[in-house]
């Protein structure tokens, strides 16, 4: 009897699995937290609009390009640093997108954008940048060495964030 019951249960389960429509590979998933396992940019590329990128302790030598609404969060600004590679900007946010930075240090950026030479640390156009418990330091640009916001939107600096030692 146990063998027949097991066979019937297995058959029912198999029928249920086959009858369920598969989700397409590109199906949207709910906003979530994406951990950094290789590079921050790789996590950004995997993220959906509205996701949070969780950055572990360490110094990350990267130049980030963000073309979706995201939050980048580290454990503490003294233990999680995003530092520019070479003479480049640390973070560029594509027009019309919003970015929240939390518990991070952004440093070492230099804007070489031939259009504006602005925002060595963070450049954002027509979007809102929120800086929360962060340090934006030692970045350079002709305008807004640490942060440059162009067009509509704005910059919100809160909760003890520091913007210091930048040059414009």
The pTM assigned to this predicted structure is 0.81
Q: What percent of the chain is helix, strand and coil (3-state, nearest 5)? A: 15, 40, 45
Task: Encode pLDDT of 113-144 as tens digits.
Answer: 666 779 999 999 999 999 999 999 999 998 99
> What integer pLDDT is reported at residue 27 of this predicted model?
42
Distances (CA, A) of 110 to 7, 121, 134, 141: 67, 7, 19, 6
Please give the radius of gyration of the chain, using alpha carbons only, rounded to the nearest integer.
22
Q: Is 162 exposed, middle or buried (0-12, 13-18, 19+ CB in 10 A)?
A: middle
As a whole number of angstroms, the distance between CA 2 and CA 7 comes to 9
Asked if the model's pLDDT at residue 20 lies above 80, the reply is no
């Amino acid at each position: 009897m146990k063998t027949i019951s097991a066979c019937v249960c297995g058959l029912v389960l198999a029928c249920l699995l086959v009858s369920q429509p598969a989700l397409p590979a590109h199906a949207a998933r709910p906003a979530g937290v994406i951990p950094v396992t290789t590079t921050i940019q790789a996590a950004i590329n995997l993220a959906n609009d509205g996701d949070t990128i969780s950055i572990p302790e360490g110094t990350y030598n990267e130049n980030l390009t963000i073309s979706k609404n995201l939050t980048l969060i580290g454990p503490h600004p003294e233990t999680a640093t995003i530092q520019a590679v070479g003479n480049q900007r640390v973070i560029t946010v594509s027009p019309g997108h919003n970015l929240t930075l939390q518990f991070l240090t952004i440093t070492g950026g230099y804007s070489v954008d031939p259009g504006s030479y602005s925002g060595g640390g963070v450049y954002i156009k027509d979007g809102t940048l929120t800086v929360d418990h962060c340090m934006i330091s030692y970045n350079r640009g002709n305008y807004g060495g640490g942060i440059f916001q162009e067009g509509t939107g704005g910059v919100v600096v809160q909760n003890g964030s520091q913007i210091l030692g930048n040059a414009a």
